[in-house]
Amino acid sequence: MDITQEMNRHTSSELFAEAQNYFPGGVNSPVRAFKSVSGPPLFIKQGQGSRMTDEDGNEFLDFCCSWGPLILGHNHPSVREKVIQTVSKGTSFGTPTRLGNELGKLIIDNHAYLDKIRFVSSGTEAVMSAIRLARGVTGKSKVLKFDGCYHGHVDSLLVKAGSGLATFGVSTSAGIPQSFAQETLVIPLNDQEALEHTLQKHGHDIACIIVEPIPANNGLLLQDKSFLECLRLKAYKHNVLLIFDEVISGFRIGFEGAAGYYNIQPDIITFGKIIGGGMPVGAYGARTDIMSYIAPEGPVYQAGTLSANPVAMAAGYAALQELLQPGFYESMDNKTQQFVATIQDHTSARGYPVQMQQIGSIFWIAFAKDRILRADQIDPQSMEKFKILHHHLLQRGIYLGPSGYEVGFVSAAHSIQDLDYAARIIIEVMDIIHR
């Protein structure tokens, strides 16, 4: 492999230098800055299907897919046409629209774990609102979360476990009062004992347990089904609401997301990413009695100027309709499994410490000997290997999210040939890394 011939990043470098004048760190969301991999971030100008092209004209097979929303790939024709048709009539009215009803109906009719939903404009907003709802319903204030789950940049959820046995949170960002962080308890994933212990001790103060049922923001930390079932039972027992944060897993692992996959009924589900078909949409949903607490029906206030924006509703509707085609998820799962197995077979045969984790069309490349199910099992040193992988793959036209803690996404637009090509290149780079 020729690594002397570096891909041209001239225009991206210039644009990034210019962006420093306008945005902190030159970006509008921190991971985009490429801080944990090498070189400037790529400025992308267009995408089509499984590929996207940067401002220097380099083309990449994209496994980031806008961090998850693009399950159909870039610029899907039916999404594009529906957006163009809608936008030609205006962009926002601040009133209810027929399109909102249509997307609401499509979701409610095809999702057995929800009776009603409320649209918002991002995953963070969905989570923030779901937490308020849980507090409003239970009259309790604390939140129990898991180390290694990300729920957007909600104040009380940007926390990690304190030192020692203390389960009260310590904030991971400046600007969060200690009193907010202390409303959150943090325990490890997949640990039924810690869960029982914490609920015994603090259950009377805990409004909700929030979990990514498929934790996919800190590697892919697939949980034992028995742990998720235990969450459900214990939450009932202690009169605590169970929130499944399905901002990534919703519509990704099946139309009914992780709730459907594991057949577990959470009390509240949050959505984002795929639900907007590439436009800014989030949502939260629950049973009718829980949702009746939301204003104007109930006392929990939550509102949004651009909520259920018609153009975004149109994109979401067009995208979700495609997901309901028979065989959609089976095909996504099959090709991703095949892709992951090709790489794993090679690395296992050579004895490389590599674990390819996968569920549906989500995968994660972990440089580790054993399966990882908790955040503290990830070796920060292994990220050096990811950095090399990322760099080589960019040179060969393959784009992964710029951090080893990020998962990869396969879209419906990724062909078997695309995946065979990517597996072959990844294997070559694995050989280089472990030489």
Ligand X SMILES: *Cc1c(COP(=O)(O)O)cnc(C)c1O
Question: What is the x/- site pattern for ligand X, positions 273-292, by CB under 6 A?
Answer: ---------x----------
Using alpha carbons, list the distances in angstroms from residue 379 to 35, 100, 374, 414. 18, 45, 11, 31
Identify the residue among 74, 151, 238, 335 touching ligand X (CB under 6 A): 151
Nearer to ligand X, 249 or 355 (CB): 249
Catalytic residue among 54, 245, 267, 418: 245
C-beta of 83: minimal distance to ligand X in Å?
19
**Paired sense of beta strands 355-359 and 206-211, if any:** unpaired
Give the torsion through C-alpha atoms of 374, 411, 307, 91, to 10 deg: 160
Is residue 150 annotated as part of the catalytic site, yes or no?
Answer: yes
Q: Rule CB under 6 A: is residue 406 a binding residue for ligand X?
A: no
Query: For residues 365 and 294, what is the distance between their CA atoms, to the nearest angstrom?
Result: 41
Give the shortest CB-122-to-ligand X separation in angstroms: 4
Interface residue with ligand X, options 12, 50, 122, 167 (CB under 6 A): 122
The string of DSSP codes covering 176-226 is --HHHHTTEEEEETT-HHHHHHHHHHHGGGEEEEEE-SS--SSS--PPPHH
DSSP category for residue 281: -
Between 41 and 282, whose beta carbon lies closer to ligand X? 282
What mask, x for binding ligand X by CB under 6 A, covers residues 226 to 255?
Answer: -------------------x-xx-------
273 annotated active-site = yes
> Among 47, 49, 136, 152, which residue interacts with ligand X (rule: CB under 6 A)?
152
**Cβ neighbours of 81 (radius 10 Å):** 12
Say which of 273, 385, 399, 405 is annotated catalytic: 273
> Binding mask 52-81 vs ligand X (x if CB under 6 A, - otherwise)?
------------------------------
Instruction: Match 């034992």 to its residue by tokens.
Output: 224
The sheet carrying 268-271 orders its strands as: 116-120, 282-286, 268-271, 241-245, 206-211, 142-147, 184-188
CB nearer to ligand X: pick between 60 and 146: 146
**Contact yes or no for 127/118 (Cβ under 8 A):** no
With CB atoms as reference, the residue minimizing the distance to ligand X is 123
Given the complex with ligand X, which of 359 and 430 has the nearer CB atom? Answer: 359
Q: How far is the CB of 298 from ligand X (least distance, A)?
A: 24
Q: Which of these segments, 12-20, 123-131, 332-340, 410-418, binds ligand X (CB under 6 A)?
A: 123-131
Q: Which conformational region is residue 81 in: left (phi greater than 0), alpha (psi within -120 to 50 degrees), or beta?
A: alpha
- Answer for which of 188, 272, 285, 360 binds ligand X (CB under 6 A) is 272
Per rule CB under 6 A, count of chain residues that contact ligand X: 14
Give the nearer residue to ligand X in terms of CB position, either 150 or 255. 150
- The rounded distance, in Å, linking the Cα atoms of 400 and 328 is 23
Q: Which long-range contacts (CB under 8 A, 24 or more apart) does 89-98 make?
A: 89/310, 90/310, 91/309, 91/310, 91/311, 92/306, 92/309, 92/310, 92/311, 93/310, 94/305, 96/308, 97/308, 97/310, 97/313
Q: Minimum CB separation from ligand X for residue 434, in Å?
A: 31
Are the C-beta atoms of residues 230 and 192 closer than 8 Å to each other? yes
Chain positions 194 to 223 lying near ligand X, rule: CB under 6 A, are 212, 217
Smallest gap from Cβ 120 to ligand X, in A, equals: 9
Residue 52: strand pairing partners: 47, 60
DSSP letter for each residue of 377-393? GS-GGGHHHHHHHHHHH
- Told to check if 40 binds ligand X by CB under 6 A, we report no
Task: Draw the binding track, 131-150, toward ligand X (x: CB under 6 A; -: no contact).
Answer: -------------------x
Q: Is position 184 an interface residue for ligand X (rule: CB under 6 A)? A: no
Active site residues: 150, 245, 273
Interface residues with ligand X (CB under 6 A) are 122-124, 127, 150-152, 212, 217, 245, 247-248, 272, 282
